[in-house]
Structure 1
Amino acid sequence: MNGHIIGVDIGTSLTKAVVFDRSGISIAEACTPSEVHHLAGGLVEQDLEQVLGTVATVVREVRGQLEGPVAALALTGQGDGVWLRDADGAPVRPAISWLDGRANSLLAKWQAEGVTREVFRRTASGLFPGSAAAILSYLDKHEPESLDRAAVAGYCVDAVLQRLTGEITVDVSDASLPFLNPATRRYDEVAIEACGLTHRRHLLADPARPRTVFRLDARGAELLGLQTGLPVTAGPFDLPACAIGAGVSRVGDGILTAGTTLACQVLTDSPEFDPDGEPAGMFLCTPRDGEFLRAMPAMVGTASLDWACGVLGIEVNQVSPLLAESSPGAGGVRVLPFLSTSGERAPFVDAAARAQFSGLSLESTRADMIRALCEGIAYAARHCFEAAGLSGTLYACGGGVRSAEWTQIFADVLGRPIVLPGEPGVGARGAVLVAGEALGEPFDAELWAANSRTVEVRPENAALYQRGYDDYQAALAAAREQWRL
C-alpha cells in the first residue's frame, strides 16, 4: 500500500488517532478529550461540532508525525445514542449519548407492556434508555420539532462520516441495535412499529455493505488537512472494532473492554438465541457475513471508578497501589456497582438499577472500598460472559486493564487467562484492519495479534472469588426485587 492508514477512534470522552506499520506496531498516535455534558435529570449530551474538532486535532497531529503520504482514513467510535442531523450533516440539536437517562420511565413502561420483549424476539437486542429506540420515542413525544427538522437519526461514526464525505449511511454494526434483524441485516418493520416509530422510519439510513469505501469531499479535506478524494472507511463501531483489533477470530473467543462501558463480547457464527430469555444484550453484525458478536455491554465500567475516586479524594493513578493494599475479598466489603443514572443494560435491563456498598465497618479503608468496587465490576463481567457464552480465548483492552492489579482481579474472578494486546488503540487497530481489507490490501491480522502478553489466573483465589460471585448473584437478585424508578 502506498501510504499510511490513519485509524481514528471517536470515544465518548476521548478521540484517538493511531497509525500502524505493516506488522501492527504503532508509529504515530495522538489523543484529545471530547466534552460530555451531564445535565440535570440524567441527560447526557455531546456537541457534534466539538467532536468533529477533536477528530481534526488528532488527524492533523499524527499527520505531522508521519513521513510519506496518507493512503486512507479509517473511522470507528462510540455506538448507540442518537445523533440527529439535517441533509448537510449539521446537528439539529445536541447529540444524545448512550449514557443518557431521559427515557428511563419510558423504558420501564415498555418493559411492563411487553414492548421490549417483542423487539427482543425479532432483533435479538435488548432495549435500554440510551438506545435509539427509546430516545427517538421520547423525542417524538416531548421534542417532535427536532425530529421534524432532521434528515437522519444516526450515530457518532456516521455523523462524522457525513461531515467528511457528504454521505448519509450507517455501518451495519451500528444499525444492529435496535431495529436490525441480524440474520437478514435488514430493519425489522414490526420492531419499529412496536416502538411507535413507523412514521419516523425515514430517519433510519440504510446500512452500507461492510467494507464500503467512501471519499473525502472538499469540506472534509479542509477540516482534516488531507487531500480531497482520500479513501475513508467508517466502521465497525468501537465494540466490534476492538474485537477485531485484539485478535478475536474463533467462535467462542471473547473480549473484555474495560472502558466507560464494560463491554463483554463473544464471537459466534449463528444469530440464534432464546427468544424467551432475558431481553438484554445485542447481536452485532461484523464485516464478515455469517459472523456475529454476542455483546453484553454493561454500564458499570471505568466511569464508576472515576466516581469513587472523586468521592474518596484520590487520583486515578492511585488505584493500582490501593488495590495492592487490600487483599482479595476487600476486607468483607462488597459492591453492586450499578452507578449509572440510566441503570443497567446487560446482562439484564433495568433503568432503576442502583449501586450498593455493604459490609462496611470502622475498620474499612479506602483501599477496601476501591478493591470491592473493582471486584464488583469483575463479577458483573463474569455475569455478562456467562450470558454471552464465552468458551474460547479471552482478550481484553480499555483503560481499566492498564492497571495490572485490576486486570489480575478480572482474570481471577473470570477464572480465565487474559490476553492483552501489546499496542495501544485497539479500536483504531480494528478499524485499520477492516480498511486494509476494503482497499484490497489486507494486513496480516495474526501477525498483528501476536504482539501480546497473557495474565494468568491465580488459582489460590479461585475458591474465594467463587464464593464472592455467589454472594454477588444473591445480592443482585434481592436488589432487583427492590429497585423502583
Structure 2
Amino acid sequence: MIIGVDIGTSLTKAVVFDKAGMSVASACTTSEVHHLPGGLVEQDLDQVLGTVATVVREVAAKLDGPVTALALTGQGDGLWLRDESGEAVRPAISWLDGRANSLLAQWQAGGVAREVFRRTASGMFPGCAAAIMSFLDTHEPESLDRAAVAGYCVDAVLQRLTGEITVDASDASLPFLDPATRRYDEDAIAAVGLSHRRNLFAEPAAPKTVFRLDERGAGLLGLPVGLPVTAGPFDLPASAIGAGVRRPGDGILTAGTTLACQVLTDSAEFDPEGEPAGMFLCTQEEGQFLRAMPAMVGTAGIDWMCRLFGIEVEEIGSLLDTSEPGAGGVRALPFLSASGERAPFVDASARAQFSGLSLESERGDIVRALCESIAYAARQCFEAAGLTGTLYACGGGVRSLEWTRIFADVLGRPIVIPGDPGVGARGAVIVAADALGEPVDRELWAESARVVEVRPENVGFYEQGYADYQASLAAARGLWRL
C-alpha cells in the first residue's frame, strides 16, 4: 500500500500498484503552468502542493487497507525557492523558462559552460538552477536574500510534508554535483559566480533515506503522522527504474513534454572535451549513473501542432497512417521550445523549421515530418549517451503505435513498452520499497511488457533520412540567432 506520486509539470498522478506491478488505484489532476511574456514559465508551489493532496486523498479513499508509505517523484531542474518553513519566497521557475537565454549564451561564449561541464559532466541550459539563480542574483537578488533553500519540485513538496530540508542526488546532479563523489564541486559553483549563495544548496540525502510525515503534512494529506516518505529520484531516473532499466548499456526513451533519452552506466568517466550537454545523474545505487540527454523536443511540439490544426491529440495516430515514411518529402527540425535546445547540444537560439512543403502536402505529411524529426533527435541523443542494450520507452508519445514504430525504425532496435504507463510513480515505489527493506519482485513487474519490433523495410530509408536530418541541423545552426 505504498502510494507513488509523480508531480509532473502539468499533471500530478498518484498510483498504488499490486504485487505484479500493475496499478490497482490511481488519480490525477492538473497543475497550473503560467507562461508569461519574455519566455517566462512559472508555477505556484501551493497550487502544486494542492494537487498532491488531491490525488493522495483520492487514492487513499479507494484502498481497502491502510497506506504504508508515500513515494515522491516529479519534475526536475528549474528553481523552487523557499524559506525555512517551506513557504515559497516567489513563484517557482520552471525548467521550461527562458529568462536566462542570453546569460547562457554568454557562458557558452566565455567558456563558463565548458568549465562546469568539465567538472561535473553536466551541461547547462537556460532552465537549469545555475542559470536561473545567476539571473536572479543580478536582476532579483531580494528573492535569493529571502530564501533559505534553492531547490527543486520534489524537495519543495517534501519540505512541506515533513519539515526536512534536503535534496535527492539526482536533482542535485545538475549542474554542481560531482557524480563520482556525490558532493558539490565548489569550483563549479564559483565558475558561475554563486559562491556567495552556497548556503542555499541543501546537502544531498543518502540513498534509501526515509523521512516521516509531520503534523502539517499529515493534515494536508489526511494520513497518519510519522508515515514513511521517500523523495526521489526525480522523474527521469524514476522512469528508468520503473520501466525496467537495470543493466549498463540499457536505455529508456521518454516521449513526454521532454524527449528524455537515458542510458545506464557503471562508470563515472566521461569525455571532458565532448559536447557540453546532457546530464550525468546519480542513481539510488552507488557506482551506477544515468547518462541523460533530455531534449526539449517532446510532445509539447505535438500539442502545438494540434492547436495549430484544430485537432485532438488522439488523432495523431490516424494522421500518421495517412502519410508514408518520408512524409511526402516534407522535412522538419523540431526545436519549438522558446528556450531552444539542451541535448545533445545546448543552444538557446535553436528554432524549428519545415521544408519540402508544396500545395500537395497534407496535414498527415506535416504531422509525420514532425514525428520523424523527433525520432531523429532521439537517435542523436542515444548516440551521445552510448546506448548498447535493451531500449525501453514510456510517455504519452508511445501511446501512438505508429509513432512508436517510427522510433523503432529510426533507432534500428525493438522497443520494450512497460505494461503499466505510470512508470515514474512505479519507479518511486520501487525505490521506497527498497528503502523500507521490502523490495518488489522486479522480474515479475517486468512480465507485462510488450515489444514493438523494427520494420526492416524502413530501416534503410530512415538511415538516409537521419543523414539528411543531420545535414539540415548543421546548416540551420549557423543561422540561429537569439
Q: Same fold judged by TM-score > 0.5?
A: yes
Aligned-partner Cα distance in 2 for 1:418–1:89: 41
1:88 aligned residue:
85
Is 1:292–2:280 an aligned residue pair?
A: no
Distance (Å, rounded) in 1 between the aligned partners of 2:305 and 2:23: 33
2:133 corresponds to which residue?
A: 136
Alpha-carbon distance in 2 for matches of 1:484, 1:133: 22
For 1:346 and 1:219, how far apart are their aligned partners in 2? 39
| Equivalent-residue separation in structure 2 for 1:383 and 1:58 (angstroms) | 37
Residue 225 of structure 1, CA deviation: 0.7
CA distance in 1, matches of 2:168, 2:65: 30
Cα distance, 1:25 vs structure 2: 1.6
Deviation of 1:117 (Å): 0.2
Give the 3-state SS of the residue equivalent to 1:325 in structure 2: coil
Query: Deviation string for 1:446-478 (max 9, x for gaps)?
Result: 211221000000010011111110000000001
Q: Are 1:420 and 1:454, in contact at CA under 8 Å, matched by a contact in 2?
A: yes
User: Which residue is 1:343 aligned to?
Assistant: 340
Please give the residue correspondences for 1:54-65 in structure 2 after superposition, counting only pairs within 5 Å: 54-65=51-62
Cα distance in 1 for residues equivalent to 2:385 and 2:303: 27
Number of equivalent positions: 482
**Offset, 1:65:** 0.8
Give the equivalent residue in structure 2 for 1:49.
46
The answer to whether the aligner puts 1:415 opposite 2:436 as a matched pair is no
1:354-387 Cα deviation digits (max 9, x unpaired):
0010000000011100010000000000000000
The aligned runs of 1:282-361 (5 Å cut-off) are 282-361=279-358
Matched residue of 2:68: which SS? strand
CA–CA distance in structure 2, aligned partners of residues 454 and 100 of structure 1: 36
Counterpart pick for 1:218 among 215, 219, 225: 215
In the other structure, the counterpart of 1:263 is 260
Q: CA deviation at 1:424?
A: 2.2
C-alpha distance in structure 1 between counterparts of 2:210 and 2:421, whole Å: 25
Within the candidate set 447, 460, 478, 2:444 is matched to: 447
Q: Give the Cα separation in 2 of the matches to 1:323 and 1:150.
A: 48
Which amino acid is 1:258 matched to? A
Q: Say whether 1:365 aligns with 2:351.
A: no
Question: Residue in 1 aligned with 2:30?
Answer: 33
* TM-score, normalisation: structure 1: 0.99
Partner amino acid, structure 2, of 1:343: G
Task: Encode CA deviations 1:122-156: one digit per residue, 9 max, x unaligned.
Answer: 00000000000000000000000000000000000
Q: Which residue number corresponds to residue 98 of structure 2?
A: 101
Which sections of structure 1, spanning at least 5 residues, go unmatched? none
Instruction: Measure the CA separation in 1 of the matches of 2:64 and 2:326.
Output: 51
Equivalent residue number for residue 437 of structure 1: 434
CA distance in 1, matches of 2:205, 2:433: 17
Match of 1:23 in 2: 20
Opposite residue 108 of structure 2, the aligned amino acid is Q
- The alpha carbon displacement at 1:158 in A equals 0.1
Residue segments in structure 2 that go unaligned for 5+ positions in a row:
none
Q: Quote the Cα distance in structure 1 between the aligned partners of 2:49 and 2:363.
A: 39
Aligned residue identity for 1:421: P
| Runs of 4+, deviation exceeding 4 Å | none
Deviation, 1:73, is: 0.1
One of 469, 473, 485 as aligned partner of 2:470? 473
Post-superposition Cα deviations, 1:70-105, rounded to whole Å, max 9, x if no partner, equal: 000000000000000000000000000000000000
Q: C-alpha distance in 2, partners of 1:446/1:268?
A: 20
Structure 2 length as normaliser, TM-score?
A: 1.00
**Aligned to 1:226, what secondary structure does the other structure show?**
coil
Q: CA RMSD in A?
A: 0.5
- Structure 1 position 395 matched with structure 2 position 392: yes
Q: How does 1:217-236 map to 2 (within 5 A)?
A: 217-236=214-233
> Secondary structure in 2 aligned to 1:73?
strand
Q: Deviations over 1:148-207 (max 9, x none)?
A: 000000000000000000000000000000100001100000000000000000000000
Q: Percent identity?
A: 80
Task: Provide the C-alpha distance between the structure 2 equivalents of 1:139 and 1:450, rounded to a whole number of angstroms.
Answer: 48
Once the two structures are superposed, residues 291-323 of structure 1 have per-residue CA deviations (whole angstroms, 9 ceiling, x without a partner) of 000000000000010001111111111110000
- The answer to whether residue 422 in structure 2 is matched with residue 425 in structure 1 is yes
Match of 2:203 among 192, 206, 220: 206
Aligned partner of residue 134 in structure 2, secondary structure: helix
Q: SS of the counterpart of 1:32?
A: strand
CA contact (8 A) 1:28 1:65 kept: yes
AA partner of residue 2 (structure 2): I
Q: 1:149 aligns with which of 139, 146, 154?
A: 146
Quick one: distance in 2 between partners of 1:261 and 1:446? 28
